[in-house]
Structure 1
Amino acid sequence: MALENLRGTLDEAQAVMEECLGAFRPEVGLILGSGLGPLAERIADPVFVPFGEVPGMGVSTANRHVGRFVAGMLGGKRVLAMQGRLHGYEGYTAQEVAFPVWLMARLGAGTLITTNAAGAINESYRVGDFCIMTDQLNFTGRNPITGTEPAAMAPRFFSMLDAYDPALRQLARQTAEALAIPVQEGVYLGLLGPSFETPAEIQMFRSWGADTVAMSVCEEVIAARHVGMRVLGISLVSNMACGVEGASPSDEEVHEVAQTREADFCRLIEGVLLKI
């Protein structure tokens, strides 16, 4: 997608989505990361829109990412979920990765819940933990707001203080406690991928204050904050980061762990939605 066509393509995408959704307008955008897509199957009265049918949307090529929007009711809220996401390592630009977030905002979503599977840099974390993101380190080397078109949608320069909404983080903590689901809180670091990080990189990231690491989220969050959305980020710790306790991450491990934590993930997200 050419940068100079961003706003026009968003107009076209919005028109297509509004035609598909009818009178439905989402309150919450939900991005379901690696292995976490089954939550979309719990959405009531679903309307499915494949990414490929929406102007400007890329097609998801990541393993087990279905690649479609699912609109409907979840946790008492009108939700527009992405069952799968787009990644920079698939060849998409930062603007293309951020495109569905801008589209969600245009359709009415004022809150974004973004989720992913991540590796644990913090050695006190355990595989299977959930981690509420408190802040992020964008190590992708990209930013979706570069250029003239994104800057025309909202002020070019904007604060990333409290990028992950403090009230939503507190709500997620309280929900997890009420459901007896242990959670961690920490700083997330995003890489471009697709290679997993090296042990030397992990040592460096730890010295910077990073607790978890993966290949998504940062560009989505920047785009969401640019247009004023509130953001909650939750990772599933699917593996220890490379070199931590001798770990050597694999894609299969990520999805196997996600399957074992599916039920608690669904309970946590639905519980948060009920209280937003």
Structure 2
Amino acid sequence: MMKKINEAVAFIQQQYSNKPLVGIVLGSGLGSFTSEITVEKEIAYSDIPHFPVSTVEGHSGKLIFGQLGGKTVVAMAGRFHYYEGYSVQEVVFPIRVMKFLGIETLLVSNAAGGSTQAFKVGDLMIIKDHISFFTPNPLVGKNIETLGPRFPDMSEPYKKSLIDKVKAIAAAKNIALQEGVYCGVTGPTFETRAEYKLIHQLGGDAVGMSTVQEVIAAVHMGVPVFAMSVITDIGIRDEENTITHDEVLQAAKDAEPKLTYIFKELVAQL
């Protein structure tokens, strides 16, 4: 594993020599965020040794390096999901590569279904905690001490100090935010009504098919994380209502300006 990480890092550093301080993972329908970055280099995933290739609509599939809020950043325009057929090690491989490129903070976004009636489509939810029991853990197997400890503490997977910064940023701009627990599932099916009810009863406020594995890998390596969901559908809903991926992408696109502003301001304050 370390050999693959080192080879990917070496290739990227040959293409781009600056050290990124912030890593950003963009979820479904949120790719336009990259227009805020003063781009200095783009590298297609397909060119990077050992990198998977994103296959999902709404994920473009490249690393973008440049300046945002006065900081050097690297953004993943397109992420990898377990449901695409990748191993969990492949899903988190880019997070590990970004760590060894030099990032000191990871910002994550996703599109998620709301599992509480308190939410509405288009809401932004700060992820304050997560439930990962429904997806394979990326740390299963032999532990690599270079990456982190065998039994990493997960009592604060989402950094409280970053959450406080975002709350202040949003308040100053009168942006309403929700806050809740994200439940990670494998997908690719959207959840049944019974599954949404179960997730709600377990304490999940939103559910999605990404994020938790990436966050576990980041925390394992000691990288502070902030994550935000765009609520793109409501699972506890009218009996006749259905969900399509096109609707998810559109809802994410509509909410994107607010999320973009928050991420940009947060990077500037790091």
- Please, what TM-score do these two structures have when normalized by structure 1? 0.94
* Partner Cα distance (1:76, 1:95) in 2: 32
Deviation at 1:140, TM superposition (A): 3.6
Contact map agreement 2:26 2:79 (CA 8 A) in 1:
yes
Shift of residue 244 of structure 1? Answer: 2.5
CA distance in 2, matches of 1:262, 1:106: 29
What is residue 170 of structure 1 aligned with on the other side? 164
Residue 244 of structure 1 is aligned with which of 237, 249, 259?
237
Q: Secondary structure at the match of 2:268?
A: helix
Output aligned runs, 1:18-37, within 5 Å. 18-22=13-17, 24-37=18-31
Map 1:60-71 → 2, pairs under 5 A: 60-71=54-65
Structure-1 residue corresponding to 2:248: 254
Match of 1:118 in 2: 112
**1:10-89 aligned within 5 A:** 10-22=5-17, 24-89=18-83
More helix by share: 1
2:92 to 90, 98, 101: 98
Structure 2 residue corresponding to 1:8, chosen from 3, 10, 18:
3
Equivalent residue runs for 1:180-195 within 5 Å: 180-195=174-189
Whether contact under 8 Å (1:89, 1:194) holds in the other structure is yes
Q: Percent identity?
A: 36
Question: How many angstroms apart in 1 are the aligned matches of 2:52 and 2:144?
Answer: 18
Go from structure 1 to structure 2 and tell me whether the alpha carbon gap of 1:262 and 1:152 turns closer, same or farther (over 3 Å shift): closer
Deviations 1:33-90 (A, max 9, x none): 0000111122113310111111111000011210000010112211100001000011
Output aligned runs, 1:122-141, within 5 Å: 122-141=116-135
Contact 2:135 2:184 survives alignment (8 Å): no
1:156 alignment partner in structure 2:
150
Letter in structure 2 aligned against 1:143: N
User: Aligned equivalents of 1:152 and 1:111: distance in 2?
Assistant: 18
Alignment match, 1:269: 263
CA-to-partner distance for each residue in 1:222-276, whole Å, 9 max, x for gaps? Answer: 00000000000000111112x4244422101111112222222211111111112
| Structure 1 unmatched ranges of 5 or more | 1-5
What residue is the counterpart of 1:3 in the other structure? none
In structure 2, give the amino acid aligned to 1:21.
Y
Distance in 2 of aligned mates of 1:214 and 1:202 = 11
Aligned to 2:214: 220
Letter of the structure 1 residue corresponding to residue 3 of structure 2: G
- Runs of 4+, deviation exceeding 3 Å: 149-152
Aligned pairs, number: 269
Asked if the contact 1:116–1:217 (Cα under 8 Å) also holds between the matched residues in 2, the reply is yes
Q: Is residue 138–residue 213 contact of structure 2 (8 Å, CA) maintained in 1?
A: yes
Q: Deviations over 1:151-186 (max 9, x none)?
A: 552211111011000000111111111111111000
Over 3 Å counting, the alpha-carbon distance change for 1:169 and 1:245 in structure 2 is farther
RMSD: 1.2
Q: For residues 102-153 of structure 1, give each alpha carbon's deviation from its aligned partner in whole angstroms, at most 9, with x where no partner exists.
A: 1111011011001001010111111111000000001443111111254552
For residue 188 of structure 2, give the secondary structure of its aligned residue in structure 1. coil
1:194 alignment partner, SS class? coil
TM-score of the superposition, structure 2-length normalised? 0.96
- 1:236 and 1:56 map into 2 onto residues whose CA distance is 30
